[in-house]
Amino acid sequence: MNFAVLTIFPEMFESFWNHGIVRRAVSSDLITAATINIRDYAQGRHRVTDDRPYGGGCGMVMKPEPLAAAIVAARSRQPESRVVLLSPQGRPFDQPTAEALATESGLILVCGRYEGVDERICQDHIDLEISIGDYVLTGGELAAMVVVDAVTRLIPGSLGGEDSADLDSFSTGLLEHAHYTRPRTFADEPVPDVLLSGNHKEIEDWRLETSLIRTFLKRQDLLEQRPLTPRETEILKNWCQDLERIICAQSEHRADPLSGR
């Protein structure tokens, strides 16, 4: 996967390309990482990349000429790559989008600033607009980093060792199960016994159940959107039976005035 990021703040990426999974993916040749300074494609002594908006109003707009020239230059180096504009008006970025982008041969990520980019750039040069959420950032750089990070960790081999993104939250349509590490007891709370049992089947069952519980408690929308496996349906039905038992016990308590409640 070839990444090229077009920005007027290339120095923001110096640290980003050199840390963690992204750095490892670069050094293992799983990805290439280029930062292109849009200012290098601007004309004149001051290499201006923004101008006042036609029609008046506050803020500045990114000029089309330097952006177009920078995109053309990036495309000439990686002609198969999709050109993605980071924009709050774009398609919401989620795990399926990251998975789809991870199959591309390259991405040219265009970072806007100010009020955004001249509309003619969107019309003539952009294949896809991506938003990382319903809020407005000052610039597209952080959004580009989010996209690069989420896509890179899906490229086979990037996580190293036996680590895999297959069980991560959203990959299966559920939130991932709970995690514990040493010490065995922390703040008077022990690690669940099952995780120390060495029984892989029971550990798998426990992980699936905690995954379902978390998704139910935190993101019911995910459960509603997703077909359940027979095993998952069985687990949910068991909870229903447990809940019914608890509710029935409550009505028995009310019927017995000596129960102390």
Q: List interacting residues with ligand SAM (CB under 6 A).
A: 86-89, 111-113, 115-117, 131-133, 135-140, 143
Establish whether 153 is a catalytic residue. Answer: yes
The catalytic position among 99, 104, 168, 176 is 168
Q: Which of 25, 49, 30 is nearest to 38 (CA)?
A: 49
Whole-angstrom distance, CA of residue 127 vs CA of residue 82:
6
- Return the structure tokens found at 56: 């008046």
| Phi, psi torsion values for 171, nearest 5 degrees | -65, -35
Whole-angstrom distance, CA of residue 231 vs CA of residue 103: 31
Q: Tell how strand 50-51 and strand 61-62 pair up.
A: antiparallel
Which of 141, 153, 209, 232 does the annotation list as catalytic? 153
Q: Cα Rg for the chain, rounded, in angstroms?
A: 25
Strands 106-111, 128-131: parallel, antiparallel or unpaired by DSSP?
unpaired
Q: Give least dist CB 105 to ligand SAM, A.
A: 23
Please, are residues 91 and 129 in contact by the beta-carbon 8 Å criterion?
yes
Shortest Å distance, C-beta 90 to ligand SAM? 6
CB of 133 to ligand SAM, least distance (A): 5
- What are the backbone angles phi and psi of residue 86, rounded to the nearest 5°? -80, 125
Distance between CA atoms of residues 175 and 208, nearest Å:
10
Structure token pair of residue 202: 């029971």
Residue whose CB is less far from ligand SAM, 51 or 205: 51
Is 168 assigned a catalytic role?
A: yes
Of the candidates 51, 75, 77, 88, the residue annotated as catalytic is 88
Active site residue 115: yes
Is 183 a catalytic site residue? no
User: Cβ 4 to ligand SAM, closest distance in Å?
Assistant: 15
Nearest distance, CB of residue 78 and ligand SAM, angstroms: 20
Strands (E), the chain: 2-7, 32-37, 50-51, 61-62, 82-92, 106-111, 128-131, 185-186, 189-190
Residues noted as catalytic: 88, 115, 153, 168
